[in-house]
Amino acid sequence: MNSSPRSHIVFAVALVVALLIAYYLRHALLLIYVSILFAIVLTPAVQFIQKLSIGPWRPGKGLAILLLLIGLFVLVGVFIGIVIPPIVRDAHEFASDLPRRVPEMMERLRRVPAVNRLAPQDLQDQLTSLASRLPKLLGGIAGGLVGFFTWMILTIYFVVDGRRAVDWGLRLLPEQTAFGLRPVLLHARDRVRRWMLGQLLLMLTLGVLSAVVYNLLGIRYATGLAVFTGMANIVPIVGPVASVLRTSTLAGLISRCTTC
């Protein structure tokens, strides 16, 4: 039996409404999506910790999650202790050196054919204003911390009760559809888990190697650029291209040579 035009109209209207709701809730949906991805990656680690035993005693899921969080916080603390101080030092150095280096950078920009057509005063104003914009970045730290703890709570929830949430969602579907969808979800979970682990390892490798290469080449702000290179790799194609453009631009405009 063919569907009536009325059913097509109702479906189209419902689809538009759903897309509008998803658009207005895009930040929350993105946070939930990222939490699910990390829960998929962390669940095997929690299960591995649960298998550890001291005599007859084995940790439960709650204690396993706590131990995993402690280990992750230790790793994050080590990362912050190693990486953040050079980035903060580079940021302060960049903010203090920018007004003094604007004339030099303007002179180098005038040598670029595509840029020398722009008004020099406009370029100088934009470059100078970067120093005043840097403190505004600190204003987003509070929002970032709130988002981080929200992500952490959601991730813990999906690790603890993710299977029940999936079962509840499948019960809303027809039985035959749910029966065919379950193995697809399991297969997708395994594929996403392997992709995430590989992506995290690739980001770490690129960040470390970029830091080594940037320092060997004498590029200023090497630590911050290396961190950006590693993190930007999460975005296919655009991330690596943005890293190359950002690094080459800074390398061309600002060198470590203080006598230039």
pLDDT in tens, 67-121: 888 988 898 888 888 877 777 777 777 667 666 666 666 666 566 555 555 555 5
Residue 159, in any domain of the structure:
yes
User: For 221-254, how does the pLDDT look when each residue is reduced to its tens digit (9 = 90+)?
Assistant: 788 888 888 888 877 777 788 888 877 777 766 6
**Residues 6 or more apart whose Cβ sits within 8 Å of residue 101:** 253, 254
Record the tokens describing residue 84, joined without a space: 């953040």
DSSP labels, 175-215: HHHHHHHHHHHHHHHHHHHHHHHHHHHHHHHHHHHHHHHHH
What is the SS3 assignment for 54? Answer: strand
The answer to the question of residue 54 being in a domain is yes
Q: How many domains does the chain fold into?
A: 1
Whole-model pTM above 0.85?
no
Q: What is the dihedral of CA 103, 109, 113, 119, to 10 degrees?
A: -60
The total of other beta-carbon atoms located within 10 Å of residue 69's CB is 14
Specify if 52 maps to a domain: yes
- The predicted pLDDT at position 40 comes to 87
Q: Is residue 107 part of a domain?
A: no
Question: Which whole number is the average pLDDT over 56-66?
Answer: 84
In a domain, 88, yes or no: yes
pLDDT band (50, 70, 90) for residue 258: very low
The DSSP 8-state label assigned to residue 90 in this structure reads H
Residue 12 has pLDDT above 80, yes or no: yes
- The reply to whether 217 falls in a domain is no
Q: What is the C-alpha to C-alpha distance for residues 179 and 195, in angstroms, rounded to an integer?
A: 25
Helix 222-232 vs helix 175-217: angle between axes, to the nearest 10 degrees? Answer: 160
Tokens encoding 65: 């999650």
Structural Rg of the chain based on CA atoms: 25
Q: Which residues pair with 115 in a beta bridge?
A: none
> Residue 258: inside a domain, yes or no?
no
- The candidate with the shortest Cα–Cα distance to 122, out of 137, 113, 109, is 109
What's the pLDDT at 142?
59
- Look up the domain containing 43 and give its range: 34-92+141-172
Is residue 82 in a domain? yes
Residue 134: band (very low, low, confident or very high) from pLDDT cuts 50, 70, 90: low
* Average predicted confidence (pLDDT) for the chain: 77
